[in-house]
């Protein structure tokens, strides 16, 4: 009889295309999830992500139970829990999907050592990315620092392997140890705190089935016009797969192959969307090779940037009270639904770090707590891109004008009117610049600036000049590439 195996679910909460699960076929298996907030530290799941994780674990547990091997839930230090569980069932192997966060890599190293000391093995499988970051290197043997050559290098490797099927049945271990209930994990809601995620369920269905349904909906329509529609926040032109990918309820190669089947032929046909999958890959590539990315500027020059931390300005941005409708609509969407359209994320981030001169780390921390798709690689890479401090970043002096951005990408005001109902009656001409509207127009729309809606905390022209002055204070001339 094959020896038992411990199957450690982490950020791969699915059965199909799960290489670790596929590898234990035919063996007695104990599936386990360990909530290890201590090891993650400040990068433990934020509030919105904890809501998602609770629903996703419930869905995964139900699917595993149907196949004969219930999911064991545990809470504590994984470097203690995992070796203890492996010993209790006599497992010779612990299998898991590889993680790329610096804290997780260090934890896996310690767990591998502890298991090896007991004659056991930690086996990590590629589960969250198309290609291992350590294996995609430039011709000179160095990691990539620019997206375009990285994307070309990945595309040149050919189509990813076909996704693996999920199991029909699983063989459980003879005497599984007791675990905790989902409620005992304390994920969400937090006792004594308001249920601020109450509306999340109107938009999201966490779990593998929800991920497949979301993918099917995308392929049934929006994918065909993705290149033209992805920047319009007022319509459903994006896939909405980001939280499902973040928790591994669907794999990037499942998505890749599904899109290729829906848009067969030359890769250029499906490139508008697949290039976004490769941006995600690039973020993981950067995190693997530059583990300081979540906390420190990748461009050394920006470590001395003259930020002007201001709690009141940060709070206005967080609460959707900057006075810029496209930004405030995005921040209200984020708070209500745990997600924000990607184009609006860029605009909101640019206003925070450039017009308001707040550190990008403060914005990244807020997104980490409020996004259901909060992903350390993508979140930190994206914030550094906007701030100009990242690898292959937009130049700092590229400053989005939030008024013009709103007028360009939400010209009919569908997005702003949805999330800022106090401005719904303003004519399109003034919707993205209400402080310029004639008093009669404001009265007709039932808007009193300073009462119903704020004036800009910093004017557009003033914000741009502040940003340029701060950049000039850095000195050093032109932008330099990240090392």
As a whole number of angstroms, the distance between CA 458 and CA 337 comes to 27
Count CB-CB contacts under 10 A for residue 481. Answer: 11
* 34 touches 58 (CB < 8 A): no
155: left (phi over 0), alpha (psi -120 to 50) or beta: alpha
279 has catalytic annotation: yes
Catalytic residue list contains 196: no
Task: Confirm or deny that 240 is annotated as ligand binding.
Answer: yes
**Within a 10 A sphere around the Cβ of 306, how many other Cβ atoms?**
11
Asked whether 379 and 368 are in contact (CB, 8 A), the reply is yes
Catalytic residue among 335, 383, 385, 430: 383
393 vs 385: CA distance, rounded Å: 4
Strands 72-75 and 28-35 come out as: parallel
396 marked as part of a ligand binding site: no
> Which of 52, 103, 360, 430 is the catalytic position?
360
Q: Is 218 annotated as a binding residue?
A: no
Options 271, 342, 422, 435, the catalytic residue: 342
Instruction: Say if residue 275 carries a ligand binding annotation.
Output: no
- Residue 373 in marked binding region: yes
d(CA 77, CA 310): 36
CA dist., res. 167 & res. 20, Å (int): 12
Which of 279, 407, 422, 479 is an active site residue?
279
**Active site residue: 180, 307, 422, 479, which one?**
307
Active-site annotation holds for 342 = yes
273 annotated among ligand-binding-site residues: yes
Report the C-alpha gap between 310 and 358 in whole angstroms: 7
239 is in an annotated binding site: yes
Taking each helix axis as running N to C, give the angle between helix 47-66 and helix 208-219, from 0 to 180 degrees, rounded to the nearest 10. Answer: 100
Residue with tokens 């010209």: 411
Count of Cβ atoms closer than 10 Å to residue 110 Cβ: 15
Q: How far apart are CA 101 and CA 424, in angstroms?
A: 42
Q: What are phi and psi of 30, to 5 degrees?
A: -115, 105
Q: Which of 79, 93, 276, 281 is catalytic?
A: 276
Closest CA to 338 of 200, 201, 241: 200
226 among annotated binding-site residues: yes
Catalytic residues: 276, 279, 307, 342, 360, 383
**Which residue ranges make up the annotated binding site?**
226, 238-242, 273, 373-375
Binding residues for FAD, as ranges, are: 226, 238-242, 273, 373-375
């Amino acid at each position: 009889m094959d020896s038992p195996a411990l199957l450690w679910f982490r950020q791969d909460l699915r059965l199909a295309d799960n290489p670790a699960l596929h590898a234990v076929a035919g063996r007695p298996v104990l599936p386990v999830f360990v909530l290890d907030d201590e090891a993650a530290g400040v990068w433990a799941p934020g509030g919105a992500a904890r809501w998602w994780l609770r629903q996703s674990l419930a869905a995964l547990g139900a699917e595993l139970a149907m196949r004969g091997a219930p999911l064991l839930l545990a809470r504590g230090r994984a470097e203690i829990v995992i070796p203890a569980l492996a010993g209790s069932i006599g497992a010779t192997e612990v299998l898991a999907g590889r993680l790329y966060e610096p804290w997780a890599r260090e934890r896996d190293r310690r767990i591998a050592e502890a298991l090896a000391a007991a004659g056991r093995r930690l086996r990590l499988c590629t589960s969250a990315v198309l290609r291992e970051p350590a294996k995609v290197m430039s011709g000179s043997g160095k990691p990539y620092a620019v997206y375009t050559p990285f994307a070309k290098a990945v595309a040149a490797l050919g189509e990813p392997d076909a996704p693996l099927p999920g199991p029909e049945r699983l063989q459980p271990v003879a005497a599984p140890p007791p675990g905790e209930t989902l409620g005992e994990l304390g994920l969400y809601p937090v006792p004594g705190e308001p249920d601020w995620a109450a509306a999340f369920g109107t938009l999201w269905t966490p779990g593998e089935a929800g991920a497949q349904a979301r993918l099917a909906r995308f392929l049934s329509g929006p994918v065909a016009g993705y290149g033209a529609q992805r920047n319009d926040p007022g319509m459903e032109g994006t896939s909405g797969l980001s939280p499902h990918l973040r928790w591994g309820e669907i794999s990037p190669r499942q998505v890749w192959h599904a899109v290729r089947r829906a848009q067969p032929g030359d890769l250029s046909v499906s490139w508008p969307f697949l290039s976004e999958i490769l941006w995600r890959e690039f973020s993981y590539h950067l995190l693997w090779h530059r583990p300081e990315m979540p906390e420190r500027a990748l461009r050394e020059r920006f470590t001395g940037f003259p930020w002007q931390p201001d709690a009141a300005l940060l709070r206005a941005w967080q609460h959707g009270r900057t006075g810029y409708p496209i930004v405030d609509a995005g921040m209200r969407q984020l708070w209500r639904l745990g997600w924000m359209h990607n184009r609006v994320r860029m605009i909101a981030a640019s206003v925070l770090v450039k017009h308001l001169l707040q550190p990008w780390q403060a914005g990244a921390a807020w997104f980490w707590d409020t996004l259901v798709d909060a992903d350390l690689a993508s979140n930190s890479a994206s914030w550094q891109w906007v701030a100009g401090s990242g690898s292959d970043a937009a130049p700092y002096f590229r400053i989005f004008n939030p008024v013009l951005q709103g007028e360009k990408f939400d010209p009919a005001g569908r997005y702003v009117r949805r999330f800022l109902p106090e401005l719904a009656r303003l004519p399109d001409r003034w919707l993205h610049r209400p402080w310029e509207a004639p008093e009669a127009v404001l009265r007709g729309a039932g808007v009193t600036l300073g009462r119903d809606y704020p004036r800009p905390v910093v004017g557009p022209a003033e914000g741009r000049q502040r940003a340029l002055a701060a950049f000039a204070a850095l000195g050093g001339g032109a932008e330099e590439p990240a090392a």
